Amino acid sequence: MKTTTLIALLSVFLFSACEYKTKPDSPITGTWQLLSHTAITKGKSEVTDYTKDQKMIKIINDTHFAFLNHTINTPKDSTNSFDGGGGAYTLNGDKYTEHLDFYKDKNWEGKSFDFTIKFAGDTLIQTGIEKVEKENVNQTIIEKYLRIK
């Protein structure tokens, strides 16, 4: 009986001594499937439909994001085109900045990309500038994501 009481008191003490930090749920946290990507370069638009030949998801938690992209229906010889990356992000109102800390191409890694985001129901629309001098990339992008439940 003494041992049970001691364990119960110790559990209550440890539980009350722990510091719990709760962060209000942000509407951006979750898993998102990319539907379309529009790149606008020198006034010319190019739209990629991500619902046909490839699939990309973005996972966003309280502090970080990650994206995973692969080709659908690849041959059995494993020539699958796979891409992924991620890093920290900041969000202030509708201003969302991704800090690409991990990526296969070092010319992109370490860059920050500023976006404006808006929500339409379960759809996230992200618009911003993608600029990487070493890759000769300077374009406006618009990405539309659907929340995966």
Whether residue 69 is predicted with pLDDT greater than 70 in this model: the reply is yes
Q: Which residue has the higher pLDDT, 74 or 8?
A: 74
Q: Is 133 helix (H, G, I), strand (E, B) or coil?
A: helix
Q: In this structure, which amino acid lies at residue 23?
A: K
- Give bridge partners of residue 129 from the DSSP assignment: 140
CATH number of 26-148: 2.40.128.490
Q: Which residue has the higher pLDDT, 40 or 77?
A: 40
Give me 60's structure tokens.
């966003």
Tell me if 96 sits within 8 A of 90, measured CB to CB: yes
pLDDT at 13: 35
Whether residue 63 is predicted with pLDDT greater than 90 in this model: the reply is yes
Give me 78's structure tokens.
């494993």
Q: Is 23 helix (H, G, I), strand (E, B) or coil?
A: coil
Render pLDDT for 5-55 as a digit per residue (tens, 0 to 9): 434 333 433 333 333 333 457 899 999 999 999 999 999 999 999 998 889
pLDDT at 14: 35
State the DSSP H helix or E strand holding residue 9, giving kind and residue range, or none if neither. helix 2-17
pLDDT at 16: 39
pLDDT at 53: 87
pLDDT at 24: 54
Residue spans of the domains in the chain: they are 26-148
pLDDT at 41: 94
Q: Which residue has the higher pLDDT, 65 or 52?
A: 65
Tell me if 87 sits within 8 A of 65, measured CB to CB: yes
Q: Distance between CA atoms of 137 and 37, rounded to whole angstroms?
A: 15
pLDDT at 78: 65
Task: State how far Cα 20 lies from the chain centre.
Answer: 25
State the DSSP H helix or E strand holding residue 2, giving kind and residue range, or none if neither. helix 2-17
Give me 91's structure tokens.
């969000």
Q: Which residue has the higher pLDDT, 74 or 31?
A: 31
Render pLDDT for 109-136 as a digit per residue (tens, 0 to 9): 999 999 999 999 999 999 999 999 888 8
